[in-house]
Every structure is written in C-alpha cells, then in structure tokens.
Amino acid sequence: MSIFSRLWLVIALSVSYSNLLHAETHLQGDVALSSSLVDESNAGRHLDLLKVNPNLHLSEVLEKTFIRSPMQSALQSRNALVASKQTLAHAVLPAAPAMVVSHQNDALASGRGEREWLAEVELPVWMPNQRNKRLMVADASSSSLMASRGSLKLHVAGLLREALWELAISENGLALTANKLKLANQLQHDVEKRFLAGELAKTEVMLVQQETLRAEQDNLRAEAEVMHARHRYYVLTGLREIPAGFVESQSALRDYQQSPIWLEAQSKLDLAQTERELAQVESRENVQLSLNMRSIRGGFDVLFNESVGLKLRIPLGSEVRAAPIKAAAEQNVGNALSEQATLQYTLETAMHEAEHNLEVSRAELGLATKQHEIAAESARLADKAFKLGETDLVSLLRVQARAFESERIFTNQKIKVQWDIARYNQTVGVLP
C-alpha cells in the first residue's frame, strides 16, 4: 500500500471515530435531558395520596360516607314532619280549643244600664275513626322515613362502589403504563448499546426513543387519572384511607323485591293511601262543643244574673270543603302509583342488564385470558429473536404493542367482572 493510501485510511478512521464519539455524546445528552425533564415534571406534579388500611372495612367506609351525605338534611327535616303527625295522632283533641270572651252594653244606645258578659270555651270533638286514621298516617310516615334512609344508604353505596372500582381501573392502568415505560427504557438502553457497537442504525435508535417518550406520556396521563379518581373518592368519603380489599361475593338474590329503593316506593304508596283514607274522614269539619258562662244585667237593674250554657255546633257536609281535600289526596296516590310503576320498569331493566353484563364479562374474561397468554408468549419469542438478530425492531415493537394491549384488556376484564358483581349486588339491594 502506498503512503498516500495509508494516509487516507488513517484520516477516514479518525473521522469515523470522531463521528462515533459525537453520536454517543449526543445520545447521552438526549438521555440526560430527558431525565432532567422527568425530574422537573415530578417536582411540580400534583399528588393525591390514599393510604391503604388493612383494618378498614368497606362497611365502615359506607357508614362514614352515609353520615356525610348532603341528603341527610332532607331526612332530618322529615323527622320533624313525622313528629308533628305523631303529636296530632296522640293529642287529646282533634284541633286546638278556642276561648271566646264578649261584652255587650247599651251605653251608646238606649242608655238604660244593660250589661252582658260572656265567656265561652269551644272544644272540637273527635269524629268516628279519625284518631285511628291519624295514628295509621303517623306510623306510615315513620315507616316511609325509615325506608328513605335505607334507600339513601343504598344510593350512597352505589356511589362508593363506582368510586372504588373506578379507582381500581385507573390504578391498574397506571401499573400497566409504568411497566410499559420500564420495558421501553430497557429496550432503549439495549438498542443504544447495539448502536454504539455498530449493530443497529441511527433510525432505530430514534424509533425506540419515540416509543419511550410515548410510553412516558401514557404513564403521565394514567397517573393523572389516578389522581382524579383518588380525589373523587376523598370528596365522597372524606377519608384519606382506603380499605385493602373491597371485592364482593355475588348475592344469592335473584330479584329486586328486597331492595331498599323498591321498599321506599312501596312505603310512599302506603302512606299516600293511608292519607287518602284520613282525607275521607277529615273532609268534614269536626263537631264543636261549647261551654259558656254568661253574666247579664237588665236595664234599670243593679243586680247581675249569671248562667251556664252548653252549645253544640254540627257543621253540614259540603263539597265546597270536601272536594279539594279529597282531590289532593287522590293526586298523591296517583303520583305514588306512577312513581312505583316507573321505578319497576327501571329496576327490571337494571336487573336484566346486571345479570347479562355479568354473564358476558365472565365469558370475555375467558377469551381475554387465552389472548393474553398467546400475546405474552409471542412477545417473549419476539424479544428473544430481536436479541439474536433474527427480527427487526419494528416487528418487535408491533408484537410488544399487541402484548401490552392484550394485558390491558385481560387485567381490566378481571376488574370488570368484580365491578359487575358489585353492580349486581347494588341492583338487588345488597349493601357492601
């Protein structure tokens, strides 16, 4: 080889080595920049923390959530209404008595000294069966209030179940994206080493870097969803703790007849019908008994004559008074019947959907399990083939994407089965 040829060979090797060092420095700079950005984003990231308490039971969380429900104020106000009906039913008289005092004289008329004083007490008298009907209304109101408490507690249980399982889904998504990011970082590290060794091209390095950034973005979004779900749980329960386990067993009930929501609708109908029976009685005015004492002095007479009297006031029946009272009671019964019928359609639909969704979810879990096993094995073989140089990076990434998707479907489907069991229990009215 000539001196001129040897000189060109040395120059070419020097340039190649310089380019290689420049590429390595550029890659290290990219990695360092990416790490610094991650550190900065973590430093300013919003975090909602929940502590897992193994001693905290789901029933305890439900009680605390039920107590802080905004609907408690409405129930408290109904307590006063029930107490007032109990007072009416156990009163001595059907209405408040009245006292009348009157005086009459002829000072501005004939002026003969006539004077008259009258003191009277008016006492309403119970109508036949009126007290019994009022007692029935009071008892029905108390039962309706208790049914409303049970219905509200079941409603709160539904909100709690949704919040917990939404949190479980988001936590599972975060775990999957974190694992995906970890594998992406490992793959990027391997590709960069093979690039520096001259085994892979620069385009493959940039491709795996893009996949890593995409995995990091997915992880960031999944973390945000977890933070949102945790905050919703905290707002609902007021707790910074979460039970370690909240998986439920499927109830043996097969209908909604024992659901507190259905029982509340029945209690409202019973109350409306009882109030209608009371309205039939109280559409007439009560008979009034009046006891009076009168003191009277005649004209040109200095002596007073005192007497005691008894008066009975019997009101006559009239549709002017009875019609609006009966119509209002009938309207309440009609509203209760409509509400119950509407609720029946809703619960029957929910019952059918709960049963069918649970059946479908279990079938889908079986399919997802098989798909996950196949995809996991394919990803393992593809990774092995890539390390041996038997396949390219694009094919590996394609197989890994399918594996990640199958794993997401499989893990989410396992959670969905438990979620559908909780929804089934909610439909039949079982508290956690």
Over residues 118-146, the mean pLDDT reads 95
State the Cα–Cα distance between residues 262 and 429, nearest whole angstrom: 9
Least confident residue range of 18-27, 108-117, 383-392: 18-27
Residue 343 in any domain: the answer is: yes
Instruction: Name the pLDDT band for 256 (thresholds 50, 70, 90).
Output: very high
Query: Do residues 241 and 50 touch, judged by C-beta distance below 8 A?
Result: yes
pLDDT of 33:
31
Residue 36 in any domain: the answer is: no
pLDDT of 45:
63
Length of the chain: 432
Query: Do residues 404 and 178 touch, judged by C-beta distance below 8 A?
Result: no
Instruction: Name the pLDDT band for 31 (thresholds 50, 70, 90).
Output: very low
Residue 35 in any domain: the answer is: no
Question: pLDDT tens digit string along 200-242?
Answer: 899 999 999 999 999 999 999 999 999 999 999 999 999 999 9
Residue 357 in any domain: the answer is: yes
Q: Which domain holds residue 256?
A: 49-428
Contacts of 354 (CB under 8 A, 6+ apart): 420, 423, 424, 426, 427, 428
pLDDT of 46:
67
Residue among 228, 204, 213 at smallest CA distance from 180: 213
Least confident residue range of 25-29, 152-156, 267-271, 374-378: 25-29
- Specify the residue for token string 């979460």: 242
Average pLDDT of the chain to the nearest whole number: 88
pLDDT of 299:
67
Residue 370 in any domain: the answer is: yes
Q: What is the CATH number of the domain that holds 211?
A: 1.20.1600.10
State the Cα–Cα distance between residues 313 and 88, nearest whole angstrom: 22
Residue 29 in any domain: the answer is: no
| 104 vs 18, higher pLDDT | 104
Question: pLDDT tens digit string along 32-91?
Answer: 333 333 344 444 566 778 999 999 999 999 999 999 999 999 999 999 999 999 999 999
Over residues 150-171, the mean pLDDT reads 97
State the Cα–Cα distance between residues 94 and 87, nearest whole angstrom: 10
Could you give the number of structural domains in the chain? 1
Name the phi and psi angles at 253, rounded to 5: -70, 145
Instruction: Name the pLDDT band for 159 (thresholds 50, 70, 90).
Output: very high
Whether the per-residue pLDDT at 30 is higher than 60: the answer is no
pLDDT of 122:
94
Instruction: Name the pLDDT band for 4 (thresholds 50, 70, 90).
Output: very low
Least confident residue range of 95-109, 177-191, 325-339, 408-422: 95-109
| 343 vs 390, higher pLDDT | 343
Residue 155 in any domain: the answer is: yes
**Structure tokens given for 333:** 């019964």
Question: pLDDT tens digit string along 318-327?
Answer: 788 889 999 9
The maximal CA–CA distance of the chain, rounded, in angstroms, is 166
Whether the per-residue pLDDT at 27 is higher than 70: the answer is no
Whether the per-residue pLDDT at 149 is higher than 90: the answer is yes
Q: Give ∠ CA 285-291-295 in degrees, rounded to 5.
A: 135
Residue 192 in any domain: the answer is: yes
State the Cα–Cα distance between residues 183 and 377, nearest whole angstrom: 16
End-to-end CA distance of the chain: 88
